[in-house]
Structure 1
Amino acid sequence: MSFARPAAVVAAAVTLAFSLTACGGGSADAGSATCPDGKIRFGVEPFEDPAKLTPAAQVLADALGEKLDCEVELTITEDYSAEVLAMQNKKLDLAMFGPLGYVFASKRAEAEPVASFGRSDGRLSSYTAGIWVPKKSKVSRLADLRDKSLALASVGSTSGDALPRKALLDAGLKKEDVKVTYAGGHPEALLALSKGTVDAAEINSQQLATAKKSGTFDPSKFRKLWASDPIPNDPITVRGDHDAKFKKAVRDALLDLPADKIGKIGALLDADPPAPLVAVQKSTYQPLFELAETLHLTEKDV
């Protein structure tokens, strides 16, 4: 199966919500096409430490508010399932999901992908899932993880759960053959491996880049056991029941944002150097729909 970027579930149990007022104080009329309810409610998945994610997401939300001349209310959701539920219950107008989270948001909330993070050549950025072991480990292939401990990020994560589990199945390992624990997020899974509390851990390319930059992980002391095909990066979606004018306004605004307004959050997704967002559609994430079917995943898994 070829992928052109992950989703996740129980990550940092922290919810941060704050309003970002566009220029002019969100002066658009409550009934306008770009500001139908007097504000736009925008949710972002908790894929990174909120202390890093919140200010990065704020730059994007603030820029979007200025483009649409409407107050934007940003929420870093408690976990991925909460984000899907919030859109389903019409508490969010826009949401940025991990790819697998989008699959379920598409089914439950009719979420429609409009934009994702681009590269400097204008193409869609991507990332990979990975399983790592200490450099001195005797584990040389996935099958050697039998009876070993493996830290995954969080239930329902694309790169931190679904893809690694699919890789284990492909290697002939059943669920009970590996001692899987969920660390609570990508940073926590990496930390578990660094501290030696597990035999192996999921580390995706985004978390690897962040940890290397911060000096919290030395790749020379570890070895990559497996890597997935490239996964299309996180989509920014709009709730499906909004009218066509609003959807078009949001899409146009997102795709017109300058690279410097995308760069901070893009860097957390390993979309570096800064580049404008690019258009995406449901078909972009078709491999994730297929992955969900292969693993018999349901919305209860996200």
Structure 2
Amino acid sequence: MAGCLSSTESGAVRFILNPAEEQTDIVQEYTPMKEYLEGETEAEIELIRADSYVDTLESLETDQGDIADTSPTAVPAGDGFADIIGMRTAYGGALYFSTITTLADSDIESLSDLEGEVMTTGARMSTSGTLAPTLMLKDAGLDTGNYPDGDAVDLELQNAPDHDRSREQLVNDDAIVAAATGAFASAPQVPQEQFDDYSEFVEHSSEYEDAGSGIDDENPELRLLAVSDPLPRAPIMARSEWDGSERDAIETALLEADETDLVPEDVDDEYELWFTGIEEAERSDYEPIDDILDELGLEFQDFGE
């Protein structure tokens, strides 16, 4: 990992950022949080974008970072050297969902119809973009082989760089008949009533209220094929051996932050942070992620770049 993360000699707290979405400027998105934390604690915060999901967690293990924005899949892998500070929430919701969608006029009616077809997923280590959808396909009776650490058998699965591009490839490439994304990327183009059969989504998803509101000439209607079980949102973690005097103050400030602290009103929509709060969480909250990895025969370290 040498060279993929910068280091600081200034005594600043090193906040490592997970490259979950390649199309976003994650440092700019996190700058309001950095400014809030510095104002609340008088600590100096350095934001450092990692190169991969695995590098984000390894920065805590190798003392190249003090605190990190990690993926849910990092929790089981970080046992013994990384502590959970809290789970990020969006508009009050601590749970989120994965979806598999097709075009409104598609002949695909169910997941079993995807046999022999081409489908896109998100980044290889994305919980909602790839791992949960792969398990959904497997549970529907399709042979997914050792995807995403190899090829599927009953259909062709292709990784897209992120959720948005998985959805866009479905719309723009006639060879692709379905797309897996987090619901935050698909729900605006899925009519709300299509989610009504999924009671947990209706109850817990922050995307339900505005489902279908983004359909227009440039963003055509999508049809829902399946919704995952609830998934715990991503955590913020700290290096277990970090004993800096500012640690308690930073952790308290994170858990007490409200939406205006994280997403100020004057922030450009393009650079808004995707979450609006952080609540306390434990490792047991991430047991669904352990189950997904076990079902797919994967370990977090399988996804090193």
Tell me the TM-score range normalised by the shorter chain.
0.7 to 0.9
For residues 10-25 of structure 1, the aligned pairs below 5 Å read: none
Query: How far apart in 2 are the matches of 1:259 and 1:141?
Result: 38
Match in the other structure for 1:12: none
For residues 155-234 of structure 1, the aligned pairs below 5 Å read: 155-175=124-144, 176-196=153-173, 197-208=175-186, 218=219, 220=221, 222-234=222-234
Which AA in structure 2 matches 1:75?
Answer: I
Shift in Å, 1:147: 0.7
Shift in Å, 1:247: 4.6
Q: Contact 1:156 / 1:301 at 8 angstroms: preserved in 2?
A: no
Q: Which runs of 5+ in 2 are unaligned?
A: 145-152, 190-212
Match in the other structure for 2:12: 39
Which AA in structure 1 matches 2:261?
Answer: K
Relative to 1, partners in 2 of residues 1:77 and 1:50: Cα closer, same or farther, differing over 3 Å? farther
Normalization by structure 2: what TM-score? 0.76
Match in the other structure for 2:196: none
Query: How far apart in 2 are the matches of 1:214 and 1:91?
Result: 43
What is the CA RMSD across the aligned residues, in angstroms?
3.1
Relative to 1, partners in 2 of residues 1:127 and 1:88: Cα closer, same or farther, differing over 3 Å? same
Shift in Å, 1:277: 2.2
Pick the aligned partner of 1:132 from 90, 101, 106: 101
Are 2:219 and 1:241 aligned? no
Relative to 1, partners in 2 of residues 1:210 and 1:268: Cα closer, same or farther, differing over 3 Å? farther
Q: Contact 2:43 / 2:246 at 8 angstroms: preserved in 1?
A: no
Relative to 1, partners in 2 of residues 1:225 and 1:219: Cα closer, same or farther, differing over 3 Å? farther
Task: Name the SS of the counterpart of 2:68 in structure 1.
Answer: strand
Query: How far apart in 2 are the matches of 1:41 and 1:173?
Result: 43
Q: Contact 1:115 / 1:237 at 8 angstroms: preserved in 2?
A: yes
Larger CA deviation: 207-216 vs 237-246:
207-216
Query: How far apart in 2 are the matches of 1:49 and 1:202?
Result: 17
For residues 31-110 of structure 1, the aligned pairs below 5 Å read: 38-104=11-77, 106-107=78-79, 110=81
Relative to 1, partners in 2 of residues 1:251 and 1:213: Cα closer, same or farther, differing over 3 Å? farther
Shift in Å, 1:288: 1.0
Shift in Å, 1:56: 1.8
Which AA in structure 1 matches 2:86?
Answer: A
Query: How far apart in 2 are the matches of 1:267 and 1:205?
Result: 18
Match in the other structure for 1:263: 263
Which AA in structure 2 matches 1:94?
Answer: I
- How many residues are treated as equivalent by the alignment? 263
Are 2:261 and 1:290 aligned? no
Query: How far apart in 2 are the matches of 1:40 and 1:216?
Result: 46
Q: Contact 1:18 / 1:73 at 8 angstroms: preserved in 2?
A: no
Shift in Å, 1:257: 2.4
More helix by share: 1
Q: Which runs of 5+ in 1 are unaligned?
A: 1-14, 20-29, 31-36
Q: Contact 1:96 / 1:236 at 8 angstroms: preserved in 2?
A: yes
Query: How far apart in 2 are the matches of 1:179 and 1:155?
Result: 14
Shift in Å, 1:187: 1.9
Larger CA deviation: 67-76 vs 206-215:
206-215
Task: Name the SS of the counterpart of 1:99 in structure 2.
Answer: coil
Which AA in structure 2 matches 1:102?
Answer: V
Query: How far apart in 2 are the matches of 1:258 and 1:157?
Result: 26
Relative to 1, partners in 2 of residues 1:291 and 1:254: Cα closer, same or farther, differing over 3 Å? same
Percent identity, aligned pairs only, is 23
Shift in Å, 1:162: 1.0
Query: How far apart in 1 are the matches of 2:217 and 2:54?
Result: 29
Match in the other structure for 2:84: 113
Which AA in structure 2 matches 1:291?
Answer: I
Which AA in structure 2 matches 1:161?
Answer: T
Query: How far apart in 2 are the matches of 1:76 and 1:279?
Result: 24
Which AA in structure 1 matches 2:165?
Answer: E
Task: Name the SS of the counterpart of 2:263 in structure 1.
Answer: helix
Query: How far apart in 2 are the matches of 1:256 and 1:289?
Result: 28
For residues 142-153 of structure 1, the aligned pairs below 5 Å read: 142-153=111-122
Task: Name the SS of the counterpart of 1:48 in structure 2.
Answer: coil
Relative to 1, partners in 2 of residues 1:289 and 1:244: Cα closer, same or farther, differing over 3 Å? farther
